Amino acid sequence: MLVSGKPFRTIWMPDASTVRIIDQRRLPWSFDLLDLCTVAEVAHAIKDMAVRGAGLIGATAGYGMALAAREASDMAELEVLATSLVQTRPTAVNLSWAVQRQLAGIRAASFDQRVEVARTEAERIADEDAEACTAIGQHGLEIIRDIAARKPGQVVNILTHCNAGWLAFVDHGSATAPIYAAHAAGVPVHVWVDETRPRNQGARLTTWELSQQGVPHTVIADNTGGHLMQHGLVDLVITGADRVTRCGDVANKIGTYLKALAARDNNVPFYVALPSSTFDATLREGVKEIPIEQRDANEITHMEGLAADGSVQTVRIVPEGSHVVNYGFDVTPARLITGLITESGVRSA
């Protein structure tokens, strides 16, 4: 994807001992790259959400394991480092998927080969993520084309929640990939961007990347989607996913379930886009079984923004003493989902 017109990926290794990322905590106010040189630094970057989004968390964990292979002097030490990565965030399954994949590869090789094996596998995980997102884009494009064909000469309005874009993966994004593909193919699209409280990944990140790509969009408060759907202003919803059970229940950013309910009530198609690394075949019933992250109360009580003097400031918006609870994700049952867009095609949930 483009940053100031220049192609970029969200993560790469400039040399054998460095993982380079875009520090997403500073977007959209400033575009900064950050170098991670130890497993502890990688774990902190995931936990503190310098990197975030299921696909990118997986790719970062893959690269973290490449550093772990250099740091560990035996398999036991490597497994301790692997656990420190897995424990950073609970909901996105791509994290443990990438770590387990790396451990399996290292176990299958001789311990002497571990550094080379882990680095190669990390690059493969990142490349596969980008390739999966490209394919998701092409499959999702067909859905957008079908809708465009039913309203010739008019714009297709797509609502998305949170950031399941390029920034949440290695390239292209999942929910945004069909949008980027449609835009590139000349299909007129417009995106309703949920601001996505509490951390505002929609308002801060999805807007930023859609702007970089020149895709028309409008930011809405999280509660606006239902009203837009009632007035025929949403043609389809596409969200991402952090974990999908074998029954097709989807964990995604908190608030996704409410969008799916509103979409069902208004006959708006509701699609979820994900690479196959986000499936968790060990789980069946999403609401009961998917672990839901609870995050710091500060994300609710405070907001960060750009002050009039250009400085980034944090302000309190909830009175001292009010009790706060902050669930990061919710589960949308398969019955509310029109289809899952994966790299292999579109299937029912």
Catalytic residue IDs:
242
**Are 111 and 75 a contacting pair, CB within 8 Å?**
yes
Distance CA 31, CA 212 (A): 12
**Closest distance between ligand MRU and the C-beta of residue 162, in Å?**
4
Q: Which is nearer to ligand MRU, 19 or 166 (CB)?
A: 166
188 three-class SS: coil
Tell me how far apart the alpha carbons of residues 50 and 30 are, in angstroms, rounded to a whole number. 13
Buried b (16+ CB within 10 A) or exposed e, 308-339: eeeeeeeeeeeeeeeeeebebbbbbbbebbbb
Q: Is 198 in the site for ligand MRU (CB under 6 A)?
A: no
Cα–Cα distance for residue pair 221/11, rounded to 1 Å: 30
Question: Strands 243-245 and 339-342, how do they pair?
Answer: unpaired
Per rule CB under 6 A, count of chain residues that contact ligand MRU: 17
Q: Are strands 189-194 and 217-220 parallel, antiparallel or unpaired?
A: parallel
- Residue 218: its H or E element: strand 217-220
Regarding 328 and contact with ligand MRU (CB under 6 A), the answer is yes
Residue 164 makes contact with ligand MRU by CB under 6 A: yes
- Residue whose C-beta lies closest to ligand MRU: 240
Select the span of 135-143, 151-159, 235-243, 304-312 touching ligand MRU (CB under 6 A).
235-243
With CB under 6 A as the contact rule, the residue among 42, 54, 66, 334 that binds ligand MRU is: 54
Pick the closer one to ligand MRU by CB: 105 or 271.
Answer: 271
User: Does residue 202 touch ligand MRU according to CB under 6 A?
Assistant: no
CB 229, CB 266: distance < 8 Å: yes
- Told to check if 105 binds ligand MRU by CB under 6 A, we report no
Q: Which helix (H) or strand (E) holds 62?
A: helix 54-71
What whole-number distance in Å separates Cα of residue 202 and Cα of residue 197?
A: 8
With CB under 6 A as the contact rule, the residue among 60, 96, 157, 163 that binds ligand MRU is 163
Residue with Cβ nearer ligand MRU (115 or 251): 251
- Long-range CB pairs of 70-75 (<8 Å, 24+ gap) are 70/16, 70/17, 70/115, 71/38, 71/39, 72/114, 74/111, 75/106, 75/107, 75/111
Binding status of residue 168 toward ligand MRU by CB under 6 A: yes
* Least Cβ distance, residue 88 to ligand MRU (angstroms): 11
> Quick one: 61 or 72, whose CB is closer to ligand MRU?
61
User: Shortest distance, CB of residue 182 to ligand MRU, whole angstroms?
Assistant: 19
**Site for ligand MRU, residues 238 to 257, rule: CB under 6 A:** 239-242, 252-253
Q: How far apart are CA 222 and CA 201, in angstroms?
A: 12
Return the residue of 9, 11, 19, 55 that touches ligand MRU, per CB under 6 A.
55
Taking the complex as a whole, how short is the minimal distance between the CB of residue 273 and ligand MRU, in angstroms? 9
CA–CA separation, 153 vs 166, rounded Å?
Answer: 28
Nearer to ligand MRU, 93 or 187 (CB): 93
Given the complex with ligand MRU, which of 96 and 239 has the nearer CB atom? 239
Contact positions with ligand MRU (CB under 6 A) in 23-52: 52
Task: Rule CB under 6 A: say whether 334 interacts with ligand MRU.
Answer: no
Q: Which of 60, 88, 96, 174 binds ligand MRU (CB under 6 A)?
A: 174
Count Cβ atoms within 10 A of the Cβ of residue 221 and give its class: 0-12 exposed, 13-18 middle, 19 or more buried. exposed
Query: Binding segment for ligand MRU among 74-82, 115-123, 150-158, 159-167 (CB under 6 A)?
Result: 159-167
Query: Does residue 201 interact with ligand MRU by CB under 6 A?
Result: yes
Residue 133 binding ligand MRU, by CB under 6 A? no
Largest Cα span, the chain = 63
Residue type, 236: L
Q: Which residues bind ligand MRU (CB under 6 A)?
A: 52-55, 162-164, 168, 174, 201, 239-242, 252-253, 328
